[in-house]
Amino acid sequence: MASSAISSPAPANPPLRFPRQLAIFGLLLVCEFFYGWAWNTVDVLRPFLRQALGLSLLEAGSVYSAQGAGALIGAIVIGQMADRFGRRRMLATLVVGYGVMLLSGVAVASYVELLVQRFLLGFFAGASFPVVVGIYVNLFSPTMRGRLAGMLNATFSLSIVMLGVGMSAVSAPDWRLLLWIGGLPPLALALVALVLIPAGSPVDLVQRATTRLPIGELFAPGLRRQTLMLAAMTGLNFFGYAAFSGWLTTYLTGERGLSTAVAGELVAWQFGGNIVGGFFWGWAADRFGRRFNAVGFGIASLAIIGFLLAPSDPLLLKLLGLLYGSALCSSVIWGPWMAELYPRHLQSTAASIFNWGRVISFFAPLITAQIASNFGLRTAMFTAAAAFSSAAVLWLMQRETLTR
């Protein structure tokens, strides 16, 4: 039988005081920043990695695939361990893990070593989402969870901005300094997590005696259909993003003939929309319910169609890109919502469903490249609108969890 909606955080005994709740969430924000820093070095520092190790374009691209594969496995494995052994210890473990793995990049001297290093970094970083969700959904009331998710989304985006600033500030021979900057603070953050989060509290751990793995419970008879539909929804989300955003600069500079500078500005507008949209959709999910945000995927689909059919007017394309980036962030509520759809002792495992969609992202470039070779790149990018629309339908087919 499917679980009922979770209407309140698990009660703490004794209850956490408000200053400590704020301190724990502040810690999560800082951890999110350095998680974003570590994760995005694979893209932002790619030119330096290629030059230092003599990588081809194919080898450089495969490094992200290795990191993504690690993230998928890490989310599943550590997400379950968080529900079984405690989110406090797992948060400290994964923060130390991606900090150490980022620092190890300083010593990487070959392509094979880089693949291993990025896989392990992805393993720990990929677990950040489900573990962090499992903590903050038990900190405050359900009517605040969307806004909390929006703040975490903005913090992740801020880390990308600061990493870009750091990249522009260092000279090419000194690029490894950015690995030190991003890798050392997490070692201290892990200790703070152990001190700040009460051991054994519902924020840390919801125990339940069972011989089954937590992930097995997601496929119990009353939950199997829901779990499969959520996995399909996240997969369509990753496919849509890869089909449109993944090819965007190639499309703008190739098919449209725009300069790289203009293409970069258009991407920046989408990025700005992503930050603003996270706050709006977080508020909307807290005000109107989790399923309401499916509207965002419908808007994103229309924005994609408009973008691909619009003339090459930079201002018009910027506005459409801003709309797309803002609407795409409606999924900011997925972490709390997935945790709410399942019993409390499965919250981190349930949130890991978001990462299951990464399996699709491994194949999306190959599928869209084949479509592009046969029917043109614009046709391949149109499939993103179909993917997001389909994901919105699956979203609306799920039950609402927000109760007032």
Instruction: Return the domain boundaries, the chain.
Output: 21-211, 216-403
Identify the pLDDT of residue 13. Answer: 54
Is the pLDDT score of 7 beyond 50? no
Judge whether 21-211 and 216-403 match in fold: yes
The domain 21-211 having CATH identifier 2.40.50.140: the answer here is no
Identify the pLDDT of residue 29. Answer: 97
pLDDT in tens, 265-322: 888 888 788 888 999 999 999 999 999 999 999 999 999 999 999 998 999 999 999 9
pLDDT in tens, 91-112: 999 999 999 999 999 999 999 9
Token digits of residue 377: 């790149």
Mean pLDDT of the chain: 89
Is the pLDDT score of 47 beyond 70? yes
Identify the pLDDT of residue 104. Answer: 96
Of the listed ranges 64-68, 175-179, 364-368, the least confidently predicted one is 364-368
Is the pLDDT score of 160 beyond 50? yes
Q: How confident is the model at residue 12 (pLDDT cuts 50, 70, 90)?
A: very low
Is the pLDDT score of 8 beyond 70? no
What kind of architecture, by CATH, is found in domain 216-403?
Up-down Bundle (1.20)
